[in-house]
Amino acid sequence: MSENSTQPANAVLLAFDPMARAKTRFDVGRYAHLLAILLLAAAIAGLAYLLIKEDRAMQSDALTRDVDTLAQSFSLRLQAMTEAITSISLEIGDAKYNDSRFASTGRELMMSKPELLHLAYVDGKNRVRWSVQSPNPLADWSRPAASEIGAEVTRSVIRRARETHSTFFSPPYQDDSGPSADNGSPFTDLITPVFSDDRYVGAVLARVSLPELLRQTVTPEFGQRYRIALREESGSILAASTSSLAPDDEPRYAIRVPPLSNGITVQASPFRQRSPVLGNALSGLVVGLTLIVMVTLAALARRDVKQAQVERVLRTETAFRRAMEDSLATGMGVIDRNGVLRHVNQAFVQMTGWPADQLLGKAPPFPYWPLDRQAEYQSKLAIVLAGLAPASGFELKVQRPDGSLFDARMYFSALLADDGEQLGWMSAMADITEPKRISEQLAAAHERFTTVLESLDAAVSVVADDAGDELLFANRSYLDLYGSSPAGHRKWRAALPLQAGIGEVFDAEVSRWFDVRTRNVRWVDGRDVRLQIATDITERKATEELVRHQQEKVELTSRLMTMGEMASSLAHELNQPLTAISNYSLGAVSRMKGGGMSTEELLPALEKTAGQAQRAGNIIRRIREFVKRSEPRRRPTEVQRIVEDAIGFADIEAAKKGIVIRTDVEANLPPLDVDPILIEQLLLNLLKNAIDAMDQSTLRKIDLVVKRQDDMAVFSVIDRGSGVSELEHANLFQPFFSTKPEGMGMGLNICRSIVEFHHGRLTIERNPEGGAIFVFTLPLAESNEAAEEVK
Amino acid sequence: MTEKDADNAQTMGVVYVVDDDDAVRDSVQWLLEASRYRVIGFDSAEKFLANHDPAAIAVAIFDVRMPGMSGLELQEQLVSRKSQLPIIFITGHGDVPMAVSTMKKGAVDFIEKPFDQAALKALVERMLAEAREHASATERQRLNQALLSKLTPREQQVLERIVAGRLNKQIADDLGISIKTVEAHRANIMDKMHANTVADLMRAVMGGGALKQ
């Protein structure tokens, strides 16, 4: 998540932060860690203090003990020397010594006591008599024999030894007269009086080097632990085990070394690195652990703070999510991988009406499934659990606890953990009762619309105005005719007069007539498109034609046929008087043959016979009158109108058989002087004959040519049919002759009669292309006297 | 017309002529009377129905074309009245369907105008003979019926069995009577039915229709 997106989210989240909403509340938890750290630190410090203190006390004790031991070592060493010197002095007093003996004894002693640098025997007058020098390299200084002890300090010690009969160590002194600075000074002299029979004869002076004494007495182990020094009473150091100085704050301990002169102490102080605290591994460990603990605690505290923050964020987030989830209008549910319902949100509960505790933990069938659909939903759930739930979800009926149902749509998606492991399925349920009702209404409306549109016999099509290659819409009627091609649409369009929106179009391909209505409309995508509605009017057209034709036929035949019917009727009429005449005559004949027939009897019969003859005559006159009335009713008539009317009907038949009728009418023909109904009938009859004759022909064309020839119009109907044989030619105009199986044999006969009524001629020629040419002539109204009469 | 002619006419029967055309009707009457038939003319079907004698031995000549009730409709009427009257239709030109339909309905024939005198006479004669035969059959039947009605119920039972071809003994067993009684009944039946042989008896019974139960 980027910075930009977190900011607003945080702002929103803040509203859900319980901490932020209660800022004054103090959180003890947050300071507990600090307090714990402080207490621990104090405890550790106290413990350390006590430990150090204890350690110091122990070290002090050890120091005291060690220094006591050291002092004892000094004393022992010095006493041993004192005893050795004392024994020498005693022997001198007994005069057992001479110079050489003194020297050998002295040297012997010096071998074992390196600190003893010089041994001298002085007489009563403090003159040196014997002198022995130590082989120790330090001992290059000497008190030569025969020299006098001049130093007052030494003299006073000698005096005190003489007076008290005791040995004494002289106070320490420096003697820089030696060849080097490090000549073993400062020194102290062990002075032992020599008495010979209670008479003082002299004294033995043993010069002891204090630094060498220190070196010889202090063991290396001791020397490593402590700084050891011999000090004067004044504090100045006489000798030390190390040249470095002990700091003043160091603990130290000093004790007197008894045989040495008053005020000389041996003092020890431990080295710094041997600090009892630092040196102690345990302490180190404790400190280390403490540090670790503290660091850990600090880290914990930091983590805790961080965790608190995280927790707060999480809690805020959770509250936010919970609020979102509860505010959702969608019912959320979670099912585990076994299909058990594990979680539902507020909306789910409100929507279904089932309390959460009656839903959670339930395995299918769920309580909200209607009983009669459980099997169906079980199988749907199986699909979901198989991971095959469609993205568009499932539609289902949900039953509330009160038994009422509503329509819902449920969507399923996999519920994945962070690591991608699938925990179960997330379902979202939406109440679609209202949308479904609306969509059902829409669907119903659409269905009604579609049904109406699809059940229309009219072919409805929409094609884009510009391109025209895309059929945007077509109903079933159109598709049935032309499939999904816009060809039909274009064909109609092309067949219509340019500006006209309405027209009747004949499509030879499907042999249908259409009433085509076209208009530009704005299509749903904003394009200008052309909507065409083509109503199949073939039937109507045929009916119209048929009606018109029949009307004409009725008009014609009511005249032609009435003649026949009248003839039949008149024949019957005529039969009556003829029968009567016959009967009377035969009756009379019979009677006269039988004889005895009076004139009175015969006369009325003969009169009746004559009357019947009169009646017959009257009937025949009526027939003549009728026939006269049936002559053609001529009037000036346009050739074009007759041709168009006749072709209009013949075309239907021709189109069915795939035959084209072409017309070639000479321009500016004057009107015909004919009975139009009869001529139309004549022309139609000839065209139909031509069509019938061309059933088997490959060249499917009929030409109707009209030309002027003098004051007559010459009509030629040219077919490419089977033609007319010689035999047929001879009989063609005979009544009841027909080349057609169901023909009456009256057509051509009537045709010729009609032509002849009009003073024209009907002839047949052979078509050089194959087929026949029927030619007939009709008078033109112009330059025709008969026409003038009619007018 | 002589007395003999009149008697002759009575036995020959009556010819009814129904035609609206006065001249045709009158001339037909003139023609048939020349052949000594007794002719009664009617100028409409309605008048014929109202006035003709159904019991007479007669033949009828109807014009097919008539205003009001046509000849064919008139035939229907007669058929519905169970009349056995033979009919001759006069037509201008007879057509087959009409002929079939009319002939199915009874004794009919057609004659076309104008008439051939001999043909008409022959037709009328044949039709009248048919009518006479029919009339005598009817009379015989009526007589037999009357004779049968004179038999007692027991005699009728016996007669039934005789006609069925059973022997006297069988009849006696059937009816639980003695052969002698059967023979007595038999003699009575023969007597009452004016029959000399069983064959006569059979004819009388068949002609008289079903026996009374």
For residue B113, which residues of chain A lie inside 8 Å, CB to CB?
575-576, 578-579
Higher model confidence: residue A182 or residue A743?
A182
- Place A744 in a pLDDT band, splitting at 50, 70 and 90: very low
In the predicted model, is pLDDT for residue A2 greater than 60?
Answer: no
- Flag if B21 and A581 touch (Cβ within 8 Å): no
CA distance A101 to A770: 189
List residues of chain A with CB under 8 Å from any CB of chain B: 571-572, 575-584, 586-588, 590-591, 594, 605, 608, 611-612, 615
Residue A483, token pair as written in the block? 């499939």
In the predicted model, is pLDDT for residue B14 greater than 70?
Answer: yes
In this prediction, residue A228 carries a pLDDT of 83
Measuring CA to CA, which residue among A655, A638, A376, A318 is closest to residue A507? Answer: A655
Taking 3-state DSSP, the helix, strand and coil percentages for chain A, each rounded to the nearest 5, stand at 50, 20, 30
- Flag if A572 and B92 touch (Cβ within 8 Å): yes
- Place A3 in a pLDDT band, splitting at 50, 70 and 90: very low
Q: What is the rounded average pLDDT of the residues B120-137?
A: 86
Q: Are strands A200-209 and B14-18 parallel, antiparallel or unpaired?
A: unpaired
In the predicted model, is pLDDT for residue A559 greater than 90?
Answer: no
- Flag if B27 and A587 touch (Cβ within 8 Å): yes
The size of the A-B interface in CB pairs under 8 A is 63
Which residue in the set B24, B34, B65 is minimally distant from A579, CB to CB? B24
Q: Are A350 and A325 in contact, with CB atoms under 8 Å apart?
A: no
For A585, which residue in chain B has the nearest alpha carbon? Answer: B31
Q: Are B188 and B201 in contact, with CB atoms under 8 Å apart?
A: no
For A589, which residue in chain B has the nearest alpha carbon? Answer: B34
Residue A54, token pair as written in the block? 């204890």
| Beta strands across the sheet bearing A772-779 | A660-665, A701-709, A712-718, A772-779, A762-766
Which residue in the set B27, B31, B92 is minimally distant from A575, CB to CB? B92
CA distance A531 to A521: 7
For A597, which residue in chain B has the nearest alpha carbon? Answer: B34
For residue A615, which residues of chain B lie inside 8 Å, CB to CB?
23
For A587, which residue in chain B has the nearest alpha carbon? Answer: B31
Measuring CA to CA, which residue among B89, B80, B81 is closest to residue B107? Answer: B89
Q: In Å, how far are A505, A511, A716, A737, B105 from A702, measured between CA atoms?
A: 21, 18, 10, 24, 56
What is the ipTM, given to two decimal places? 0.71
| Beta strands across the sheet bearing A265-270 | A237-240, A226-231, A265-270, A253-256
In this prediction, residue B5 carries a pLDDT of 46
In this prediction, residue A745 carries a pLDDT of 46
Which of A40-44, A286-290, B169-173 has the highest average model confidence (pLDDT)? B169-173
For residue B65, which residues of chain A lie inside 8 Å, CB to CB?
572
In this prediction, residue A433 carries a pLDDT of 81
> Taking the alpha carbons of B14, B19, B21, B22 in that order, is the dihedral positive or negative?
positive
Burial class, B195, CB count within 10 angstroms (exposed 0-12 / middle 13-18 / buried 19+): middle
Which of A220-224, A767-771, B181-185 bottoms out in mean pLDDT, i.e. has the lowest?
A: A220-224
Measuring CA to CA, which residue among A683, A714, A710, A712 is closest to residue A780? Answer: A712
For residue B28, which residues of chain A lie inside 8 Å, CB to CB?
583
Q: What is the rounded average pLDDT of the residues A423-439?
A: 83
In the predicted model, is pLDDT for residue A654 greater than 90?
Answer: no
- Place A567 in a pLDDT band, splitting at 50, 70 and 90: low
| Length of chain A measured in residues | 791
Token look-up 């010095």 returns A78
DSSP secondary structure code for residue A119 in this structure: E
In the predicted model, is pLDDT for residue B150 greater than 90?
Answer: no
- Place A733 in a pLDDT band, splitting at 50, 70 and 90: low
Q: Are strands A712-718 and A672-674 parallel, antiparallel or unpaired?
A: unpaired
Select the residue from A573, A574, A579, A619 to test the B interface by mutation, using most B Cβ atoms within 10 A. A579
In this prediction, residue A613 carries a pLDDT of 92
Separation in Å, CA of A593 to nearest CA in chain B: 10
In the predicted model, is pLDDT for residue A441 greater than 50?
Answer: yes
**A530 φ/ψ angles, rounded to the nearest 5 degrees:** -115, 120
Q: Are A333 and A346 in contact, with CB atoms under 8 Å apart?
A: no
In this prediction, residue A19 carries a pLDDT of 55
DSSP secondary structure code for residue B193 in this structure: T
For residue A572, which residues of chain B lie inside 8 Å, CB to CB?
65, 92
- Flag if A584 and B28 touch (Cβ within 8 Å): no
3-state secondary structure of A245: coil
- Place B98 in a pLDDT band, splitting at 50, 70 and 90: low
Measuring CA to CA, which residue among B68, B64, B62 is closest to residue B42? Answer: B62
- Place A705 in a pLDDT band, splitting at 50, 70 and 90: very high
For B118, which residue in chain A has the nearest alpha carbon? Answer: A586
> Residue B99: in which H helix or E strand, if any?
helix B96-104
CA distance A409 to A393: 7
For residue B114, which residues of chain A lie inside 8 Å, CB to CB?
575, 578-579, 581-583
In this prediction, residue A250 carries a pLDDT of 66
In this prediction, residue A735 carries a pLDDT of 53
Reported as a single tens digit per residue, the pLDDT across A316-351 is: 888 888 888 777 778 888 888 888 888 888 888 888
Measuring CA to CA, which residue among B87, B85, B207, B203 is closest to residue B137? Answer: B207
CA distance B195 to B198: 7
Which residue in the set B21, B30, B92 is minimally distant from A584, CB to CB? B30
**Angle at CA A527, nearest 5°, toward A525 and A528?**
140
3-state secondary structure of A131: strand
